[in-house]
Amino acid sequence: MKKLLLTITFSVLLIFSSLTANARLAIFDDLWDVSQGTSVSASSGALAGGWWSDPRNMFGGAYGTNSDTKNNTIFKDYQPQGYVHWVNWQTSAPVTLQSFNLVAIHDYGLNMGEYRNINHRGISRFKLFSSTELSGPWALLYDYTVNPVLDSNWQPVYGGGTNYSGLNYLELFADVPLTTAQYFRAEFTQYGTGSWVYGDAQGPRIYELDGYGPTVPIPATLLLLGPGLIGLLTLKKKFNR
């Protein structure tokens, strides 16, 4: 009987682990990842030429000439300070969005006598929109203005985040009004004028942009585990008499 009880208990625990694991996966599933069928419909343009990048990279794509351009979306260079870079994308079907996560990275460090900071591939503002139509109209979901901090060399930087501590990282996680849509748009305002040594490095670098749905409630099946475990304990007492 002890062997039977152990088998039943192990089965219950296995079911419990499976259910909770699936719930966690559902909670943290990225609605905007290209693996989910997301596609970019239009953009202001990514870095081109010998070092080319792709707007899909911020959604989990890996297109480009090297690890930097493949792991990030780097927007086109040679634009003035304040230029608004943008990307429009769509999911394979309407999704319900509750929150998002943005990670941006500017250049950093001393290079050819020039300190790289937020003026090199940084942003000063981020806007997120949604629409039920491919070309809009667009409803504003979130508007964020970047407030740089100074590092030990008095250089303006993003300042780092919870999961990315590097001073050249911006990590923004925020809730938005619960929205069901299939079409989205993001705008990134260019912070600075880039490198005075090379004349480039103006286009913002976006590491990732993720979208998340509502928190998944505990599966109803879990509610049955309480009475089930009590029943097992009662059964154990009965056979121990």
The domain spans of the chain are 1-29, 31-216
17-21, 118-122, 184-188: which has the minimum mean pLDDT?
Answer: 17-21
pTM over 0.85: no
DSSP 140: E
Q: Which two tokens stand for residue 58?
A: 């911020």
Q: Does domain 31-216 have CATH number 2.60.120.260?
A: yes
β-strand pairing of 109-111 with 84-105: unpaired
Provide the pLDDT confidence category of residue 28 given band limits of 50, 70 and 90.
Answer: low
Provide the pLDDT confidence category of residue 115 given band limits of 50, 70 and 90.
Answer: very high
Segment (H or E) for 230:
helix 225-240
> What 3-state DSSP class applies to 181?
strand
Displacement of CA 233 from its chain's centroid (Å): 45
